[in-house]
Amino acid sequence: HQSTQISMAVMVAFLNLIIFSVVSTTGKSLSLNYYAKTCPNVEFIVAKAVKDATARDKTVPAAILRMHFHDCFVRGCDASVLLNSKGNNKAEKDGPPNVSLHAFYVIVAAKKALEASCPGVVSCADILALAARVAVFLSGGPTWDVPKGRKDGRTSKASETRQLPAPTFNLSQLRQSFSQRGLSGEDLVALSGGHTLGFSHCSSFKNRIHNFNATHDVDPSLNPSFAAKLISICPLKNQAKNAGTSMDPSTTTFDNTYYRLILQQKGLFSSDQVLLDNPDTKNLVTKFATSKKAFYEAFAKSMIRMSSYNGGQEVRRTAE
């Protein structure tokens, strides 16, 4: 009887191991030459859509990078962020953290071009991963080989956007959010560098400049002159519609300014400034502030890791 129990335990452990290895290699089933025979022009077609849109609107690369990040952090990189709300279902794009996402039309245009060239072959999730790489490169950032073969999802719920790391998060909340997706502390610091691109509305940082806590109205970890500038942009009353500021002064250039600003206590979000709260993350901030090359290498590796987290089942024929 005891030997039966032991063999059952071994069997269960073995099955768990098999299940775990399947789950943990789902990301690995992506490949660099996934479309080599079925849609060889995929990278060119996606790059053209992003380039054309960027030529008309310099905010497109920041929007695409953010869209990809927001997609991957809810249900994995399955392009569920692109789906429109239908009937009683409010989709991810209408969840509070996503209402300021824009440039969906770029992915729609790339998908249409790909459907004309190789119908039913390229997933929207792969288009978004490729577009994010192009967005970073067009802004002067690094490039990398994007593993392909993601599938698209059909489920998109606004309520699930609560899973996105918030700009008000402290370091332990950020670490937990990233580790749930198999991402390390280094991935967290490297991917935060995406904040070198784009614009933020007051709502994302007002917690630091008004009623910060019981003893301080303004976050004491904020550079005083920078705080004064933010207060003038985002006053407590009579704030201009859509008021906000660029994430860093070189807002359309992908560089390591973001890290240098954090060291000067001029990080915009709480979630930027808290990267100095721990020796490990602080060392990485200093390393990336000092070496653009080190940042670019780490960012490229972390983007591949983040975007390999896939949760879809099919190739959708339309983006939205």
pLDDT in tens, the chain (320 residues): 544 445 555 555 555 554 433 333 344 489 999 999 999 999 999 999 999 999 999 999 999 999 999 999 999 999 999 999 999 999 999 999 999 999 999 999 999 999 999 999 999 999 999 999 999 999 999 999 999 999 999 999 999 999 999 999 999 999 999 999 999 999 999 999 999 999 999 999 999 999 999 999 999 999 999 999 999 999 999 888 889 999 999 999 999 999 999 999 999 999 999 999 999 999 999 999 999 999 999 999 999 999 998 889 999 999 99
Judge whether 136 is annotated as a binding position.
no
136 domain-assigned: yes
Residue 303: which of 35, 66, 52, 108 has the closest Cα? 66
If you write DSSP's letter for every residue of 279-309 in order, what string do you get?
A: HHHHHHHHHHHH-HHHHHHHHHHHHHHHHT-
- Domain's final residue, options 131, 163, 195: 163
- Expressed as residue numbers, the domain containing 82 is 41-163
pLDDT of residue 22: 35
For residues 182 and 268, what is the distance between their CA atoms, to the nearest angstrom?
26
Looking at residue 73, its pLDDT comes to 96
Q: Is 70 a catalytic residue?
A: yes
Catalytic residue among 1, 70, 102, 210: 70
Q: Is 195 annotated as a binding residue?
A: yes
Residue 23 placed within a domain: no
Where a domain ends, among 117, 134, 163? 163
**Reported pTM:** 0.90
pLDDT given at position 239: 87
User: Cα–chain-centroid distance for residue 192?
Assistant: 9
CATH number at residue 294: 1.10.420.10
Are 179 and 150 within one domain?
Answer: no
Helix axes 60-72, 42-56, angle to 10 degrees: 130
CA nearest to 196, candidates 97, 293, 66: 66
Dist CA 4 CA 91 (whole Å): 50
CA gap 39, 124 in Å, rounded: 14
Residues 302 and 185 in one domain: yes
Note the helical H segments in 180-245.
185-192, 224-233
92 is in an annotated binding site: yes
**Which residue is associated with the tokens 């990078």?**
65
pLDDT at position 25 is 36
pLDDT (0 to 100) of residue 2: 46
How far does CA 120 lie from the centroid of its chain? Answer: 26
pLDDT value for 27: 44
Is 153 marked as a binding-site residue? no
Amino acid 18: pLDDT = 44
71 is in an annotated binding site: yes
- 165 annotated as belonging to a binding site for a ligand: yes
The torsion angle over the Cα atoms of residues 274, 276, 277 and 280, rounded to 10 degrees, is 120
112 and 49, same structural domain? yes
280 is in an annotated binding site: no
205 contacts: CB under 8 Å, gap ≥ 6: 167, 230, 234, 268, 269, 270
Asked if the structure places residue 316 within a domain, the reply is no
The domain that contains 155 carries what CATH number?
1.10.520.10
